[in-house]
Structure 1
Amino acid sequence: MPSSKAMAINTEYHNIDFQNDAAARSDERFPQYSSVDRMSKKRKMQEIAWNTALLVIPMLILTMVLLAFVFGYQIKPEDEPFENLKGNSSIGTDDDAYYVDLNSTFLIFLASWMSSLAPMLAGFAITLAAYPIAGRVYEDTIQANHDRLLTPYQLNLTLKLVNGSTWSGLWSLILYRVGWGKRVKGQGAALMSFLRVTVVVVVLSTLVFGADTWLHVVTKTVGLVQLSAMPRNEALYSLSLLDPNCTITNNTISQLAENNLICTMDPFTTRLEQGTAAFQTLNNQSNAISVFNDGPDSTIAYLGWSSRERNDTHDFTATTFGMHTTCRPISQACGLGRTSNNTFAFDCSDGTFAGNVTIAATLPQGYFIDFNASQLSQGGVKNPFDYAVASLFQTSANPVTDIANDPDIVTYPGDFLAVILTCRVTLLDIEYDLVEGNVTRLTSTPSNTSVANVFEPALENTAFGWSSISNALQIASVVAEDAQDLANQFATAYSKVALSIGAGSMVRTPATAAQERSTILVAKVPKAPLFLLVVINLALVVMGFVLAFMAARTSQEAHEVQSRFTIAGIVANMFEGEKAGRPADAVERLFGEYWEGSKTSRVGVDRSSKGGYVFRILDKELDSIAYHSRD
């Protein structure tokens, strides 16, 4: 090394008697610096405010924005216009989630910023924590609390934590505790304080990441039905009687003739009015009206607007007319018996319903005012009314069931099977809810007499539906288990025939309530991960305010010491000599470069006299270089 202009830099170490020289540790030793160029309280509060803002505001804003979007665009259950038309796909089917009218990708993107920012903001939290911790280090130094102070290596670990190497610092600390074994000295209070703050920040940051990942996994885009009430004139799903033809009389033949009205049948010619509509309805070919029995009670049939013309996105509450028919076999009571090879005779109630039934003839049938077929109707009935029918079938060579063994079934072995049924028919005023194509509710009350006479006179005085009734009996005789099972199957078929005859006497009227379903894509956001993410974010915010409050309460000395608890402070202490020990209102003013610019010394690395490597200060004076080292 050059020696002619070498300037030795002597590092002065003061071995102070901490037990006896309290004055040596106060500003009384340096009265000229007691209030000169100190870091001001204003600067301290500005730095605390800046670090607090960077820690708190991003998480607070992101949390508020996320909640604002979730609750601002939430589709709530009370948006449903009609409670009775609430279906499986209606709003609010999952009480543990929010349905948000936004793309789920957008919400996930917004939440992902939280998990990205949380680890980045850890350094600001540790900077705030450094104020009170640095103040305690200063106090421990003054009070000579040797065991609470840091070893040089612990200072290294502390600097890692303070200067932003959060994960690296934790890993180094783990290696220090585990790898050094018995060589580890008692951890200084400052290191443990920084460690606790760092662990809290890391745990909260990890929980933010975990909650955000959970929210990513479970938040999905789903199709949700949005419901809106329909104007009455756009939902003509109810059926009412033709006005005034079917609404101003009791609709018996005599009353229709007296008022010169035609409801279902012309009273003068007994011709079926609107017969085409009736036949189309009976054979499921009508685009207007159909007969259904898809309600909760399948024994009730009702007239409804044909599914061909019904909009599948409409739900409604409608009124209409229906029928409930119950039948039972009375073959024994009527004395049904075989008189010849293909003829069976019967007599019910002293000839009121009597005659012969043959394989080729029209089915004997009649309408009565009682359930025993003892008194015929006189061109009109009350509600309910009664119906009886006798039938003869050619039997199958290999019958499906043992129906022939029933006492109410009369047979001629290997040839014929005969039965007589009587049925109670009740016309009903129906109200039903159709939701998503399914009947979810159906209520019925007996109709008045005028409604019953819309259907019965046309059934009694025309041949409408005879072939359908015969076919229904024929099919039932093959598959029924016994006579009562045959009667039950026939009852359903009869209701369909009887209701179809009145299809031409119906007009469309507005539904009682109607709504339209439109499927929209929404984000389904489960509540649990959403609120977990919010709570953790707010915990970070609260921690930021607590640390800021603690930092603001510290002394100015704590601020000075905190500024030295940085890489800049340590470097200045090593290489700037006396300048590093002087007061300064900012840490950068501890460096000669701040004052001298390019004239400042330079730092290099060289071999030491002991064979290792050390940092050296190189001063440039004129054209020669002097080397100064600390070894």
Structure 2
Amino acid sequence: MYHAVSDISEDEAASTVDRQEQQTPDLPPTRDNHDQDVVFISEPREYHAVSDISEDEAAEAANRHEQETTDLRPTKGNHDQDVAFINKPREKGSFDAAKWIVLYAALASLPMLCFSAVLLGILIKNRIETVDSTSDDAVALGYHIVEFPAARLIFVSSWSSSVAPRLASIVMGLYLFRTAKALLKRSSTNEMARLPTPYQLVLLIGLSTGSLGHLWKYVKYGWTSKHRFASLIKSTGAVLIIFQLLGLAIFGLDSLLHFTTEAVLYMRNSTSDAVQQSFSRGLSSRCTSLDDFHEYPCTTIGVQTSCKPISQLCQLSAPIGAATPYNCSSGFYGDLQSITLNSTTTSWKANDEHLVFGADFLDDNFTQPYNNYSSQEDRSDISVSPGHNLPSSWYMAVAFRLDFGVKSSNIPNDPEITIPVHGGAAFIWRCQVATYDVKYTSFNGSLSHVSTTLANGSVAWLYNSVIPAPGTPSIMITQGTDIAIMGNSSAEIASNWGTQFSRVAVSILAPVYEGRPNLAESTIRSAILTRVPRAPLLGIVVLNIVFATFGLLLGCMALASNSESVAAVAGGLSIDGLVASIFEDDGGMVEGAEIEKCFSENVQGGAVRVGLHEERPGQWDLVKKTQETIESLYTHTHTT
């Protein structure tokens, strides 16, 4: 196989190709004429023809082409027929890499900064600062509560993890300027040890595109190759690894945010400027007018009654028949067989189905009467009461005689319950009753923030003035007794009866209370909020900012390294640059020209094609071909 160097000029060859394209039909290579294909190996102004003809024959063919094409020099009239690979000298400075550096830096940083700003904006604008404790544990440590749909929030957060990996190629394009500057410097000083090998150049170009495949090859090469990496390749690989790790970290935090973000139900209270409802309770003005010196506005009233059995202390017994004598004190004694009360204090009775009667005292020994009149006195004159100087709590002696046995089989054996000879049950309680002013908050249909203070004696006085009067609903006390005796012991029955009596007392007092304005009002509105874990959310924001900061930093480094020569080399360190270096006359690294303009077809159009040539069986090369040269050599070979 022989290589002949054509002596024809570049312009003559171009004219010849153009003429042959117009006059000669396509003649695709066949098995018979394959060896006559012309292969142009890109060297400055040299074209090598590969065929089976001798060097003399090739030289003769070149001379003949030179004579035939002297009239086909490009002129203004035949400019449209000019061959594409005739390149005009390019003007330096026609390509400004700085604007592309600024654009790439903006693309590498602004999206991540915008995503962080959107996330922070959603958090700040929709965050709920205070949440009532009744709304579950929505304000658990490490969470933010935002009034924003959870699905939309995690969709916004996923932008960062989706975009970050795609920005690697842009970021590496910025770092390529620094790499190009380093390569220029080391090439000019001929530092062989610091220059990349051919395969390392492949890795360098692949890493500069952000390729994960080349990143894996880079790692594998570092483990297996005997050649050490050039430092500029190490730094390029390190930058790509850093940005890939940042992308993975953002993806991991975004996944964690997806798993831990949840919707919660929140009941919001908004305080009204004006109170419109009257759900509080207070003393009626007709009652408070009885005292010209005191007025007790309150939200509502409360009564607390605590009882314990004292049958043994009162010497309750059942000697014969239905007789059940007792002697608690000089102020409360007698026989439960009869209704007669030997007491000089306020007393009352309920004798529907059960005999339940009691008396009120100021002390727990039943010696100081609450009021200085007996049950036989006329109660129509309320002025006999001592007034509002009575305390807010008092003691009651309560005696029971039931005509039937109680439910529990344990009660007959209780020492505090006496069983009369004729059957039934008898027992005596000592109860302490206290009245309170109660403030409470109604939230979501339940009471909360209940606070109590002892009320003035007027509440107790009103109760003790009403319950002994004729017509008092004693049936309420009887029903309370029916409920209380369901207990399993005397102590449990006493406790249950005290609770029932408190309800009866409040019910009796309710009619003398009137509506009062609420202390404050709020409107309850339910909403579905989003509970966002603080750590992954803020982590995404921070990593976005770090990612953007690195992008801006690399942009500044690229601007600092930028020059016409650096821009040309940076453009050439790519697949485009390598192809241009092989198949274009001016190569792929031309100062002042974009890499796209290094291809003649992008400037003037062209007839150059890239094909395969079999150097030897099983070995192929990429070669530059034109139809004109193929036809010329094919014709010459067959005519000779």
Q: What is the TM-score when the length of structure 1 is the normalising length?
A: 0.75
**Distance 1:225-1:132 versus aligned 2 partners, 3 A rule:** same
Using the TM superposition, give the Cα deviation of residue 239 of structure 1 relative to its aligned residue in structure 2, in angstroms. Answer: 0.3
Instruction: Output the CA distance in 1 between the equivalents of 2:103 and 2:450.
Output: 68
Structure 1 match to 2:458: 450
**Percent identity at matched positions?**
25
After superposition, the C-alpha distances for 1:144-167 in whole angstroms (9 at most, x for unaligned) are 221221211221222222234x11
**Distance 1:625-1:89 versus aligned 2 partners, 3 A rule:** farther
Mapping 1:108-507, distance limit 5 Å: 108-164=154-210, 166-177=211-222, 181=224, 184-230=226-272, 233-243=275-285, 245-249=286-290, 319-338=299-318, 340-350=320-330, 353-357=333-337, 362-376=355-369, 377=371, 378=373, 380=385, 382-383=390-391, 384-394=393-403, 396=405, 399-402=408-411, 404-406=413-415, 408-412=416-420, 415-462=423-470, 464-473=472-481, 476-477=484-485, 479-482=487-490, 484-507=491-514
Q: Does the 8 A contact of 2:399 with 2:426 survive in 1?
A: yes
SS at match of 2:431: strand
Using the TM superposition, give the Cα deviation of residue 471 of structure 1 relative to its aligned residue in structure 2, in angstroms. Answer: 4.8
After superposition, the C-alpha distances for 1:241-282 in whole angstroms (9 at most, x for unaligned) are 122x2111159xxxxxxxxxxxxxxxxxxxxxxxxxxxxxxx
Give the one of 511, 514, 519 matched to 2:518: 511
After superposition, the C-alpha distances for 1:294-337 in whole angstroms (9 at most, x for unaligned) are xxxxxxxxxxxxxxxxxxxxxxxx82111122334443454433
Bigger Rg, structure 1 or 2: 2
- Greater Cα shift, 169-178 or 600-609: 169-178
**Distance 1:368-1:462 versus aligned 2 partners, 3 A rule:** farther
Instruction: Output the CA distance in 2 between the equivalents of 1:464 and 1:607.
Output: 122
SS at match of 1:185: coil
- Greater Cα shift, 437-446 or 504-513: 437-446
Mapping 1:572-587, distance limit 5 Å: 572-578=580-586, 580=588, 583-587=591-595
Q: Does the 8 A contact of 2:107 with 2:170 survive in 1?
A: yes
Q: Does the 8 A contact of 2:39 with 2:624 survive in 1?
A: no
Q: Does the 8 A contact of 2:576 with 2:588 survive in 1?
A: no
SS at match of 2:624: strand
Give the one of 613, 616, 624 matched to 2:620: 613
**Distance 1:217-1:625 versus aligned 2 partners, 3 A rule:** farther
Give the one of 119, 122, 127 matched to 1:66: 119
**Distance 1:579-1:596 versus aligned 2 partners, 3 A rule:** farther
1:56 has 2:101 as partner: no
**Distance 1:470-1:5 versus aligned 2 partners, 3 A rule:** closer
Amino acid of the residue matched to residue 605 of structure 1?
L
Instruction: Output the CA distance in 2 between the equivalents of 1:201 and 1:625.
Output: 55
Amino acid of the residue matched to residue 576 of structure 1?
E
Q: Does the 8 A contact of 1:90 with 1:226 survive in 2?
A: no
Instruction: Output the CA distance in 2 between the equivalents of 1:109 and 1:91.
Output: 25
**Distance 1:62-1:153 versus aligned 2 partners, 3 A rule:** same
**Distance 1:6-1:520 versus aligned 2 partners, 3 A rule:** closer
Q: Does the 8 A contact of 2:336 with 2:401 survive in 1?
A: no
After superposition, the C-alpha distances for 1:43-70 in whole angstroms (9 at most, x for unaligned) are 1211211111111112212221222122
Amino acid of the residue matched to residue 365 of structure 1?
G
Give the one of 527, 531, 548 matched to 1:541: 548
Using the TM superposition, give the Cα deviation of residue 477 of structure 1 relative to its aligned residue in structure 2, in angstroms. Answer: 4.9
Using the TM superposition, give the Cα deviation of residue 475 of structure 1 relative to its aligned residue in structure 2, in angstroms. Answer: 5.3
**Distance 1:414-1:161 versus aligned 2 partners, 3 A rule:** farther
Structure 2 match to 1:558: 566
Structure 2: segments with no counterpart, 5+ residues? 1-32, 46-88, 293-297, 339-350, 374-383, 635-640
Structure 2 match to 1:104: 150
Paired residues in the alignment total 525
Instruction: Output the CA distance in 1 between the equivalents of 2:631 and 2:461.
Output: 128
Using the TM superposition, give the Cα deviation of residue 593 of structure 1 relative to its aligned residue in structure 2, in angstroms. Answer: 2.2
Instruction: Output the CA distance in 2 between the equivalents of 1:374 and 1:171.
Output: 99
**Distance 1:232-1:324 versus aligned 2 partners, 3 A rule:** farther
Amino acid of the residue matched to residue 289 of structure 2?
I
**Distance 1:4-1:231 versus aligned 2 partners, 3 A rule:** closer
Instruction: Output the CA distance in 1 between the equivalents of 2:586 and 2:414.
Output: 124
Amino acid of the residue matched to residue 238 of structure 1?
S
Structure 1: segments with no counterpart, 5+ residues? 14-34, 81-85, 252-317
1:592 has 2:637 as partner: no
Structure 2 match to 1:278: none
Q: Does the 8 A contact of 1:73 with 1:100 survive in 2?
A: yes
Using the TM superposition, give the Cα deviation of residue 547 of structure 1 relative to its aligned residue in structure 2, in angstroms. Answer: 0.6
**Distance 1:463-1:336 versus aligned 2 partners, 3 A rule:** farther
**Distance 1:400-1:588 versus aligned 2 partners, 3 A rule:** same
Q: Does the 8 A contact of 1:619 with 1:625 survive in 2?
A: no
**Distance 1:8-1:114 versus aligned 2 partners, 3 A rule:** closer
**Distance 1:192-1:395 versus aligned 2 partners, 3 A rule:** same
Amino acid of the residue matched to residue 593 of structure 1?
E
Using the TM superposition, give the Cα deviation of residue 99 of structure 1 relative to its aligned residue in structure 2, in angstroms. Answer: 2.2
Amino acid of the residue matched to residue 331 of structure 1?
S
Structure 1 match to 2:77: none
Instruction: Output the CA distance in 1 between the equivalents of 2:34 and 2:366.
Output: 139
Instruction: Output the CA distance in 1 between the equivalents of 2:600 and 2:362.
Output: 121
Instruction: Output the CA distance in 2 between the equivalents of 1:414 and 1:394.
Output: 9
Instruction: Output the CA distance in 2 between the equivalents of 1:614 and 1:324.
Output: 104
SS at match of 1:140: helix
Using the TM superposition, give the Cα deviation of residue 541 of structure 1 relative to its aligned residue in structure 2, in angstroms. Answer: 0.4
Amino acid of the residue matched to residue 116 of structure 2?
T
Amino acid of the residue matched to residue 349 of structure 1?
S
Using the TM superposition, give the Cα deviation of residue 493 of structure 1 relative to its aligned residue in structure 2, in angstroms. Answer: 1.9
- Greater Cα shift, 377-386 or 58-67: 377-386
After superposition, the C-alpha distances for 1:479-524 in whole angstroms (9 at most, x for unaligned) are 3434x44433322222122221112112222222332221112222
Structure 2 match to 1:568: 576
